[in-house]
């Protein structure tokens, strides 16, 4: 079947099985115009009641005009997609803002404790390389205990 673009009038040849009976949204490869295409059979007057052969292309015609309502829906959908892209970009900008001071503090605190646990896990191998490391790590633990007791007394 031959279909012509309603915008630039360029003609395209398509196989009949590519377009279902309910119709299909098409886009012109030349001008990028989109339209809804639906196959419809020509209804003959009652005076000539012949059997219509669906394969006979002379007795059927194809309607390539878009109903106004369908065209409005397509335009609204395209505008909605553009607005969604703008909203997604705004959301991404909000996400990429600088982290708050509290979040930064929590990350630093967790990283510090992870580093201390790492050092305590490899205490013996590090102690073999750095003499006095075990003594420094024990003093560090005692300092942490003293700080904990200090803040505990401040709260009371």
Kindly give the residue spans of alpha helices, DSSP state H, lying in the chain: 68-95, 101-121, 123-129, 133-155
pLDDT digits (tens, 9 = 90+) for 39-74: 765 454 555 445 555 555 444 444 445 566 777 777
Give the pLDDT score at 59: 41
φ and ψ at residue 25, rounded to 5 degrees: -80, 125
Three-state DSSP at 35 gives strand
Give the pLDDT score at 125: 92
* 111's tokens: 């990283």
Cβ density class 88-105: b for 16+ within 10 Å, e for less = eeeeeeeeeeeeeeeeee
Q: Rounded CA gap, 49 and 28, in Å?
A: 37
Q: Are 13 and 1 contacting, i.e. CB atoms less than 8 angstroms apart?
A: yes
Q: Are 27 and 33 contacting, i.e. CB atoms less than 8 angstroms apart?
A: yes
Average pLDDT over residues 28-42: 75
Give the pLDDT score at 52: 53
156 band by pLDDT with thresholds 50, 70 and 90:
confident
Q: Which range among 14-18, 25-29, 57-61, 64-68 has the greatest average pLDDT? A: 25-29
pLDDT digits (tens, 9 = 90+) for 69-123: 777 777 766 666 555 566 666 666 666 667 788 989 999 999 999 999 999 999 9
Q: Rounded CA gap, 59 and 56, in Å?
A: 6
- pTM of the full structure: 0.36
24 band by pLDDT with thresholds 50, 70 and 90:
confident
CA atoms within 13 Å, Cβ hemisphere of 98: 4
């Amino acid at each position: 079947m031959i279909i012509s673009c309603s915008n630039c009038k360029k003609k395209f040849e398509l196989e009949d099985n590519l377009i279902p009976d309910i119709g299909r949204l098409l886009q012109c490869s030349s001008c990028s115009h989109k339209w809804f295409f639906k196959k419809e059979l020509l209804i003959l007057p009652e005076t000539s009641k012949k059997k219509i052969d669906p394969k006979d292309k002379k007795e059927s015609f194809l309607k390539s005009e878009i109903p106004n309502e369908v065209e409005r829906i397509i335009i609204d959908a395209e505008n909605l997609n553009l607005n969604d892209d703008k909203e997604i970009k705004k959301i991404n900008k909000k996400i990429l803002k600088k982290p708050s001071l509290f979040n930064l503090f929590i990350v630093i605190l967790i990283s510090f404790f992870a580093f201390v646990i790492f050092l305590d896990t490899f205490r013996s191998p590090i102690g073999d390389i750095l003499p006095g490391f075990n003594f420094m790590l024990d003093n560090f633990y005692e300092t942490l205990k003293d700080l904990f007791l200090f803040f505990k007394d401040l709260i009371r």
